[in-house]
Amino acid sequence: MQTPKQAPYIAAIEAGGTKFNCAIIDSDRNIISTKRIDTTTPEQTLDLVIAFFNEQKLAGFNFEKLGLACFGPLDLNKQSAHYGSITATPKPDWSNTPITSILEAALNCTIFLDTDVNAAALAEYKWGNATNASVAIYITIGTGVGGGVVINGQPLHGLIHPEIGHMIISPPKGIQGVCPFHGNCIEGLAAGRSMAKIWNQPAETLPDDHQAWDIQAQVLASLCHNLLLNFSPEKIILGGGVMNKPGLLENIINYTQESLNGYITLPESLTFADIILLPGLDQHSGLFGAFALTQQQ
Amino acid sequence: MQTPKQAPYIAAIEAGGTKFNCAIIDSDRNIISTKRIDTTTPEQTLDLVIAFFNEQKLAGFNFEKLGLACFGPLDLNKQSAHYGSITATPKPDWSNTPITSILEAALNCTIFLDTDVNAAALAEYKWGNATNASVAIYITIGTGVGGGVVINGQPLHGLIHPEIGHMIISPPKGIQGVCPFHGNCIEGLAAGRSMAKIWNQPAETLPDDHQAWDIQAQVLASLCHNLLLNFSPEKIILGGGVMNKPGLLENIINYTQESLNGYITLPESLTFADIILLPGLDQHSGLFGAFALTQQQ
């Protein structure tokens, strides 16, 4: 008698400050089932997450591995007593949440954890617009701004992990950033939340011809300028809701070139439009990133 | 009859815009002989370099490997027809100099090439103040400003190689950077040459209590702020002549902490003074970096 062949399903969570996207994904990277859970308190949110995955198990979608692409800051040091916890975050209630051990215990599976943005960078490196890039950077410009880096196929951690959104730049004339920590960091200038404060209206209601979008392109060009000089990346992927604005990417590319002012000579046949791109995985960089984490060693 | 045992001597060059430091180094990293050659034209400079190493060969210090830690920008792409050349540099006469192939042909040895700052980062990672750092950064603040990065023991290249000195920051109030490309980049604000322009006197003649040094600490703290958030390095080594100013390092550390404003929570028992350090190899980071390159695969 043969043992029934079981498809190696994978559980994936893209855990953000607004919502947790949960999914069962098969080994061919098809999304089998998915659920969006609002981020409220850790207890309420994680109870719903656990309930979803337990239902999936009952429905026959068993899994041994769960990829967790989580908002930070995270303790990723495997030697630390707090490995797998969300550490000091301005998000109410979530500081010091041992999210990894809670899920591991409740779902009896192995968790593969990284920041949401490192995971997204990994997915774009594997299957998206940054394939074969020895240095791939993923930036999300949404409610906040975050960045992940993959170097030679490995997510960058270092001492903690990158927090690229809080890099300081020189703001365009007359503009003042609103980050409570740093004022003029990228997040304080370009996050959706910051745009709303700077212009006194929700970012999505700013008309196409509002100067806010030109300023936004200049700020994100300074980000790209600094990323290009720091990391010398082959690819910078700009994702997140704010990047849906038509024409924004093209303006960022033009201002980046203007800002670098000829200092970097690109290898023949390359232009900055080959380096600075939207995600290749559309809205799925994060969820596929969680899936990609389970394939790492 | 036994073959006489020959010590595996290594040739090393730290090639800078002001001088070429050349040396023969033995396998225990003892400097056997050294010569400083002024950087003039490529022909004149390289003729003197070749003459020095040929003399060393005649004196019995044969070598098969030469480590070349060179000012950039460099073409480090081994698939490129111009691999090993200095590319477009503002340094007179040196643009498009195929320095690697010139030295290789003249000295009949294998050349191991990287940027001077990547090589210095590698030396500090191997033997200096950044040992065991998964992310080690070396910054030189001298006539210009440059930076190298070593991640998990490998120098970072990416598309070309980092050019950290040209990262843009927000300058202290009332100060205007002088970089001909970018104005307010780190090099335009903090390089020795830029300080001289901003304050109308050579940097080394600025008295200890001149406000220039407080401004300098603020600028270099912005650099450290951005490096910490981009790379999450375990170590940032600040080298170069400008860093010899007493008290400057301590002021940079204080301003960095102030600038981050509590956003990064360091692992227990660590302070920013454990992360931001002077070189452990004193003035030898560059030359030992050239030596270290010959040990890479």
B148's tokens: 């190298």
**Whole-angstrom distance, CA of residue A66 vs CA of residue A102:** 13
pLDDT score recorded for residue A236: 98
CA distance B279 to chain A (A): 19
Q: Tokens for B159, please give them.
A: 């598309």
CA distance B10 to B27: 7
The answer, yes or no, to whether residue A2 has pLDDT greater than 60, is no
Q: Which domains does chain A have, with CATH numbers?
A: 9-116+285-293 (3.30.420.40), 129-278 (3.30.420.40)
Look-up of token digits 């979008």:
A213
Helix axes A211-231, A248-260, angle to 10 degrees: 50
Q: How far apart are CA B227 and CA A163, in angstroms?
A: 10
CB of A119 within 8 A of CB of B297?
no
Shortest distance between the Cα of B233 and any Cα of chain A, in A, equals 5
For the stretch B39-43, contacts whose Cβ atoms lie closer than 8 Å and that sit 24 or more positions apart, written own/partner, are: B39/B15, B39/B91, B41/B93, B42/B93, B42/B94, B42/B97, B42/B99, B42/B102
Q: How far is CA B9 from the centre of its chain?
A: 23
Sign of CA dihedral A69, A73, A74, A77: positive
Task: Give the mean model confidence (pLDDT) for residues A26-49.
Answer: 97
Residues of A in contact with B270 (CB under 8 A): 159
How far is CA B244 from each of CA A293, B247, B278, rounded to the nearest angstrom? Answer: 45, 9, 9
The model's pLDDT over B112-146, given as tens digits with 9 standing for 90+, comes to: 999 999 999 999 999 999 999 999 999 999 989 99
What is the reported pLDDT for B88? Answer: 85
Across the interface, whether the CB atoms of A230 and B233 are under 8 A apart is answered: no
What residues in B contact A165, CB-CB < 8 Å?
A: 229
What secondary structure letter does DSSP report for A282? G
- In this prediction, residues A55-68 reach a mean pLDDT of 97
Q: Is a pLDDT exceeding 60 seen at residue A146?
A: yes
B-chain residues near A121 (CB < 8 A)? none
Nearest CB among A157, A234, A259 relative to B232 is that of A157
pLDDT of residue B6: 58
Q: How far is CA B279 from CA A273, B137, B141, B282, in A?
A: 38, 11, 12, 6
Per-residue model confidence (pLDDT) at position B3: 45
In this predicted structure, the answer to whether residue A94 has a pLDDT above a threshold of 50 is: yes
How far is residue A258's CA from residue A266's CA, in Å, rounded to a whole number?
14
Q: Are A256 and A228 in contact (CB under 8 A)?
A: yes
CA dihedral B111, B114, B115, B118 (to 10 degrees): -140
In this complex, which of A157, A184, A263 lies closest to B166 when CB atoms are compared?
A263
Nearest Cα of chain B lies from the Cα of A161 at a distance, in angstroms, of: 5
Cα separation, B139 vs B145, in Å, equals 7
Q: How many CB atoms lie within 10 A of CB B245?
A: 18
Q: What average pLDDT does the structure give for chain B? A: 95
Q: ipTM for the complex?
A: 0.95
Dump pLDDT digits (tens) for B194-223. 999 999 999 999 999 999 999 999 999 999
DSSP A145: E
> Does B168 contact A167 at a Cβ distance shorter than 8 Å?
no
Q: Taking CB atoms and an 8 Å cut-off, how many pairs form between chains A and B?
A: 142
**pLDDT, tens digit (0-9, with 9 covering 90-100), for A177-203:** 999 999 999 999 999 999 999 999 999
How far apart are alpha carbons A92 and B95 in whole angstroms?
55
Kindly list the residues from chain B whose CB atom is less than 8 angstroms away from the CB atom of residue A160: 232, 264-265, 267
Report strand pairing: B135-141 vs B235-239.
Answer: parallel
Average model confidence (pLDDT) across chain A: 95
> Which residues are registered as beta bridge partners of A174?
none
Q: pLDDT at residue A151 above 80?
A: yes
Q: Note the pLDDT tens digit of each residue in A216-263.
A: 999 999 999 999 999 999 999 999 999 999 999 999 999 999 999 999
User: What percent of chain A has pLDDT above 90?
Assistant: 92
pTM: 0.96
Q: What is the mean pLDDT of residues B150-168?
A: 97
For the segment B236-267, what is each residue's pLDDT rounded down to a tens digit? 999 999 999 999 999 999 999 999 999 998 98
Mean pLDDT of A8-18: 95
Task: Please enumerate in sequence order all residues whose Cβ is within 8 A of that of B134, keeping only pairs 6 or more positions apart, or say none.
Answer: A157, A158, B151, B152, B234
Residue A224 has which token pair? 């790209």
